[in-house]
Amino acid sequence: MGRLVLSDPRSFANLPVSELAERSHVSKPTVVRFCRSVGYDGLSDFKLKLAGSVSEGVPFIHRSVDVDDKTSDVLVKVIDNTVAAFLKYRNDASSFAIEKAVESLAATYKTGRRIEFYGVGNSGIVAQDAQHKFFRLGVNTIAYSDGHMQVMSASMLGPGDCVVVVSNSGRTRDLMDACDIARKNGATTIVITATGSPLASAGHIHLAADHPEGYDRYSPMVSRLLHLMIIDVLATTVALRIGSTRLQPLLREMKNNLRNKRYA
Q: What is the pLDDT of residues 188-213, one digit of tens each?
A: 999 999 999 999 999 999 999 987 66
Query: What kind of fold does domain 93-256 have according to CATH?
Result: Rossmann fold (3.40.50)
In the chain, the percentage of residues whose pLDDT exceeds 90 is 48
Rounded to the nearest 10°, the torsion over CA 90, 42, 47, 23 is 100
SS3 call for 22: helix
Architecture of domain 1-56: Orthogonal Bundle (1.10)
Per residue in 34-49, pLDDT tens? 888 877 778 887 777 6
Among 23-27, 30-34, 67-71, 136-140, name the most confident range: 136-140
pLDDT at 16: 84
Whole-angstrom CA distances from 50 to 5, 82, 88 are 9, 20, 16
Whole-angstrom CA distances from 247 to 100, 236, 240, 252, 260 are 22, 12, 9, 8, 22
pLDDT at 123: 94
SS3 call for 123: helix
DSSP 110: H
In the chain, the percentage of residues whose pLDDT exceeds 70 is 88
Count the alpha carbons within 13 Å of 149 in the hemisphere toward its beta carbon.
Answer: 11
Per residue in 91-131, pLDDT tens? 888 899 999 999 999 999 999 999 999 999 989 999 999 99
